[in-house]
Structure formats: C-alpha cells, structure tokens
Amino acid sequence: MRIKSIAARQILDSRGQPTLEARVTLTCGAEGVASAPSGASTGAHEAHELRDGGSAYGGRSVERAVAGVNGEICAALTGLDVRDQRGIDAALIALDGTPNKSRLGGNALIAVSLACAVAASKAVGMPLWRYIGGVSGGRCPCPMMNVLNGGAHAANNVDIQEFMLVPVGAASFADAVRMCAETYQALKSVLRERGLSIALGDEGGFAPDLRSDEEALELLMLAIGRAGCIPGKGMAIALDVAASEWADAGEYHLPKRGERRSRKEMIEYFSRLTQNYPIVSLEDPLGEEDFAGFAEITRQLGDSVMIVGDDLFTTNPARLRKGIDACAANAILLKPNQIGTLSETIDAVRIARGAGYRLIMSHRSGETESSIIADLACAVNADFLKAGAPARSERTAKYNRVLAIELDW
C-alpha cells in the first residue's frame, strides 16, 4: 500500500473554469482520484489557489499547480505508506513551505491529500466514509439546500448570497431530499406564477430580481407551504449572508442595493429576520475579521440560531481556536480546500466538536462531479451537509452519494 506515482491534470469545474484533478496510484494497483473545487466569495485567510495568469482561460489555468504535482509532489510522496494520512499531509505542508500553501497551491495539495485517502480506502476495501470515520463515523447529515441564490453567485439584485432549506423534520436523509426537492419545484412554480425569473445561479438555486430579502423569505414560505411542509417544524430556513463581501471601512456596504449599515444595524436586522421567519442558521452574518461582532450576535441569538463561521474560520484550526476563545459563532462551515489538507480539516472537526460547535460540511460554488465531501460529512458525523440546490449534477452528486451511504448501497 505504498504510493507508486501521483499525477495531475487540468479539468473544468461547474462554472467552466479550469481546476486540478489528482490521481494517486499504489503499488498494490489501487487508485484514488480527487479534484479541487473553487469559491467565488472566498475568505481572505483561505489556502492560496494557484493559477497561472497569462492569456489561457483568462489567466485562470492551473498548469503550474499540475506541474508541481507531477514533479515535486510525486517525487516527495512516492514510497510512502498511503495509510499514513497525517505523514502524507505533513510532508505536503513541509514541501510547500509557506503559511498559506501559496508555493505549490492549496488546490494541488487538497486534491492530492484527498486522492491519497480515496486510494487508501480502495486498497483496504472500505467505503471512504468508513475508512476516514472508522467505527464511530457513519451518521448521515441533514442537508442544507440553497434554493435562492444572490450575492457573488448570481447576476440578480439580491445581496444575501444563499437562502437555504433545512428539512429539520425529516425522518431520514431520503425523506430530507424529497422534502427539499418538492419545495424546490414548488418554489419554481411560485416564481413562474409571479412572472419572476427561474434562471439559476451558480449553486443551482433560482436567481430572480426581488424587492427585498423579506420578499425572498416570503417566497420560500409560500413554497414550503405548497410542498406540504410546516414552516419551522418540518422545514426551516438558513441564510448565508457572506457579509465579508460587504465589509467596507468598518461598516457594511450592500453592493447591489447600495445601502450602508453599521455592525449594530446588521445585528438588529438579522435579529428581526430571525424573529419573523423560521431561520435556524445564519452563516457569516458579519465580516471575516469581526470576531467581536460575531461574539455579540452569538450572545444575542446563539441560543436559538446557529451562528456559522465560514470566511471567519476558513476551516483553519488556529482561526477556529481564536473564535472559540472569543465565543464567536457556535458552528463551523468545513470546506477542505479552504485549509488544503484532509488532516487539518479533521483537526478543525475535533476542535469544533470539543467546543460544542455544530459542524456543516460544505461544497464550493465552483464544484466538480466529485462526491467526496458527502463521504467526509458522514465520516465525521457532520450535523449538516451544504451542497447547493437539489438540481444540477455537481450538486446532486453529493446528495445522491449520501442516499447511497444511508442505504449501505
């Protein structure tokens, strides 16, 4: 079970932008393949995504990252026991040698790190979630499905990035998928009847122009009712504000509406929304440097609402520890490519669990057909899996994989 060779190539992501796929081949003949997803509203503290510049693909090609895998990374890891994930990830981090993985690229590192885990799981004959989670893993998460897109993910006039369905009353993952898919179809007919656009945003949710955030929430409430769910009991709502995109000189500037708000006004606004609608989760309601603001909103709303750090933590164990010390947030979004290795993602999981934080395993807005994060969600018993709308194959690949895991397929 030693690494025989590692190779990478350039492929396309769901936005038609280049990304990197890595393949790890073992001496026993087993192979593992994994790819790097890519964000649009990325946090400032994420691992660096290495891109080439120049003219090909508008400067976004990843041939340098590919060359790093085929050359240096392959040479350094060949011969290692693939089951030593910690040793492999430590070698990748040391080889890169920068604090934010900028020399070889976080995109190269995460694809190789995950491909090693996939190869190892095949070599030992276990599904990936079992290999990573062991006997304690295997609980299926509750999905969080993004059905209305705004912010950096859509060309409409809505500033909040994601309006998500959370089927809190579902009896199983299959039931959760049905509830979300039915509500998504109901939302489509509600939009059609009102003459609103049913064009889709990057994560497969609808992206109509709307008068206000409240209008978006009212449309969701209508769709939830029409799908036969009870708002708040069967089906709840989650928002990803992605407010780091709004942070501007100590205040918030909503780029599409052109409004300005202070931190205090932001907290009051979201407090009002959570009183008026069955919102169970608020992701990045404030900017990525505002630990004090996160602590304040967690103090005010955290007993009844999940306050989720995405850009705030960037799946980074050091930033998560800082947040825990400051009582900022009570849940973490886990995006393996934000930190760049599987081992560091697992470290973030352990630290978050130790502090009683809820876990949300997440895709990126630019995705591939890979379903690895579905296995990761089940491996670490994540409370939630956020993987976009119940539509478009790069999103449904994740949900379909959990459906298989639930059935022991």
CB of 242 to ligand PGA, least distance (A): 5
CB of 202 to ligand PGA, least distance (A): 7
CB of 305 to Zn ion, least distance (A): 16
Q: Is 245 in the site for Zn ion (CB under 5 A)?
A: no
DSSP 59-72: GT--HHHHHHIIII
Q: How far are the Cα atoms of 66, 76, 100 from residue 70, in angstroms, in the given order?
A: 6, 10, 21
Which one of the listed residues 21, 49, 203, 245 is annotated catalytic? 203
Shorter beta-carbon distance to ligand PGA: residue 6 or 216: 216
Please choose which of Zn ion, ligand PGA, none residue 142 contacts, taking the beta carbon within 5 to 8 angstroms, the exact cut-off set by kind: none
Please choose which of ligand PGA, Zn ion, none residue 85 contacts, taking the beta carbon within 5 to 8 angstroms, the exact cut-off set by kind: none
- Residue pair 131/392 in contact (Cβ under 8 Å)? The answer is no
DSSP 261-307: E-HHHHHHHHHHHHHHS-EEEEES-S-TT-HHHHHHHHHHHTTTSEE
Shorter beta-carbon distance to ligand PGA: residue 45 or 364: 364
Q: Is 310 in the site for Zn ion (CB under 5 A)?
A: yes
CB of 151 to ligand PGA, least distance (A): 8
Place of tokens 């876990």: 359
Shorter beta-carbon distance to Zn ion: residue 96 or 283: 283
Q: How far are the Cα atoms of 82, 146, 173, 393, 404 from residue 140, in angstroms, in the given order?
A: 26, 18, 7, 20, 10
Cα 162–353–111 angle (5° rounding)?
65
Q: Which residue is nearest to ligand PGA (CB)?
A: 39
- 22, β-bridge pairs: 8, 34
Please choose which of Zn ion, ligand PGA, none residue 370 contacts, taking the beta carbon within 5 to 8 angstroms, the exact cut-off set by kind: none
Of the candidate spans 49-57, 113-121, 264-272, 278-286, the one that interacts with Zn ion by CB under 5 A turns out to be 278-286
Please choose which of ligand PGA, Zn ion, none residue 365 contacts, taking the beta carbon within 5 to 8 angstroms, the exact cut-off set by kind: ligand PGA
Is the Cα torsion angle 269, 271, 273, 276 positive or negative in sign?
negative
Shorter beta-carbon distance to ligand PGA: residue 207 or 242: 242
What tokens were used for 99? Answer: 């604090």
Place of tokens 């955030």: 213
d(CA 141, CA 139): 6
Please choose which of ligand PGA, Zn ion, none residue 40 contacts, taking the beta carbon within 5 to 8 angstroms, the exact cut-off set by kind: ligand PGA
Q: Is residue 31 annotated as part of the catalytic site, yes or no?
A: no
Q: Is residue 203 annotated as part of the catalytic site, yes or no?
A: yes
Provide the phi-psi class of 158: left if phi over 0, else alpha when psi is between -120 and 50, else beta.
Answer: beta
d(CA 182, CA 168): 15
Q: Is 240 in the site for ligand PGA (CB under 6 A)?
A: yes
Q: CB neighbours of 57 closer than 8 A, spacing ≥ 6?
A: 17, 18
* Selected binder of ligand PGA within 39, 68, 167, 317 (CB under 6 A): 39
CB of 333 to Zn ion, least distance (A): 6
SS3 227: coil
* Selected binder of ligand PGA within 51, 83, 263, 364 (CB under 6 A): 364
Of the candidate spans 14-22, 34-42, 286-294, 350-358, the one that interacts with ligand PGA by CB under 6 A turns out to be 34-42
Which one of the listed residues 122, 335, 386, 398 is annotated catalytic? 335
Binding footprint of ligand PGA on the chain (CB under 6 A): 39-42, 240, 242, 310, 362, 364-365
Footprint of Zn ion on this chain (CB under 5 A)? Answer: 240, 283, 310
Give the residue numbers annotated as catalytic, written as ranges: 203, 335
